[in-house]
Amino acid sequence: MLKNLSIRYKLLLGFFLIIIVFSSFVSYFLVRLIRLDTSLRNVNERAKELQLFLRLDNDSKQLSYAIKSYMITGNSRWESVYDTTSSDLSTVLQTLKPLIDPDKAVTLTKFETIMTKSQGTELLILAKTKEGDKQKAISLFDNNYDTQQTQSLAFIAALVKQENTDFFILLQQDEALLTTIQNLFIGTVGFVLFIIIAIAIAISSVIETSFKTLIQNVNKIAGGNLQTRIPITEHDEIRNLGIAFNTMAERLQESYTGLGQQVQQRTQELEQTKQSLEQQVQMRTQELQKAKETLEQTVAERTKNLEDQLTQVKKMNDVMVDRELKMIALKKQIKQLESEKNNG
């Protein structure tokens, strides 16, 4: 399949696959994060519930302490503390009701019922204390209120314990979920990196194999093996390069074949010309040899003629010289005779 794609589309395919893998990883991780966020919200709600239950427990104890303090001291400040704490307790109860599950709601209802009875007893104690009848107030506290307070504290303690247990169980679950998400994140990141590297290696391997085949065959062509042809198996830019190199090799082979024929023909022509020149040189040599012999014969004859002429000239010269010498001697004798004649 990859062989039928161009390099551009191969790279785009790899990029697209990487995006798909990365998107899948991000989607999976977001789902896990949403689940973790939901769980953390549950933990936050549980923490608020636990805080409210602790406020109930604290308000219950604070009411009991305010009643005791008011009975002992008669200070109206404790009455104000009682009113504030009682109002806060009612607010906490109203806040808790829509938050807790049905099982806890049953226990909370029982607690609220006891607290309602306790509030009636508390008001009687406050009233008796204001009237100055401390004995009656103490009797109500010991016989009724203390028992009710113990029951209410037991209920609230059970609620706090259950809520605390649920909270830590949920917290442990969240911690396990967080650990799982961390491990999954590390594993998924490793897996995604592996997939990305594998895709990159696969695509680069396909491209590299094509280029290696192309380069090997091009080197053969460059080395002079013009019969080499690049196999066309791809449908990308390398295919176009292969076709171009094959066309170039065919044209070079045709050119070299034509050039070889021309060289062979020219060689034959030169050989014929050489043979023709050798024949002409041989003929000319023979002619020159004949001319040389004729010239030598002519020179010999001319030399002989010249020698004969020179001999004749020499003889004539000797005759002329002898005649001249005789004429000189004759002239001397004539002068001598003339001289003797004059003297005589």
Residue 252 falls inside a structural domain: no
- For residue 265, what are the CA distances in angstroms to 65, 262, 272, 288? 132, 5, 11, 34
pLDDT at 8: 64
Residue 68 falls inside a structural domain: yes
pLDDT in tens, 150-197: 777 777 777 777 777 877 787 777 777 778 777 777 877 787 788 778
Residue 58 falls inside a structural domain: yes
pLDDT in tens, 274-311: 888 888 878 888 887 887 788 778 877 887 877 777 78
Residue 256 falls inside a structural domain: no
Residue 254 falls inside a structural domain: no
Domain holding 16: CATH number?
Answer: 1.20.120.1730
One-letter-per-residue 3-state SS of 174-222:
HHHHHHHHHHHHHHHHHHHHHHHHHHHHHHHHHHHHHHHHHHHHHHHHH
pLDDT at 206 over 70: no
Number of domains in the chain: 1
Q: Whole domain around residue 50: which residue ranges?
A: 2-211
Residue 317 falls inside a structural domain: no
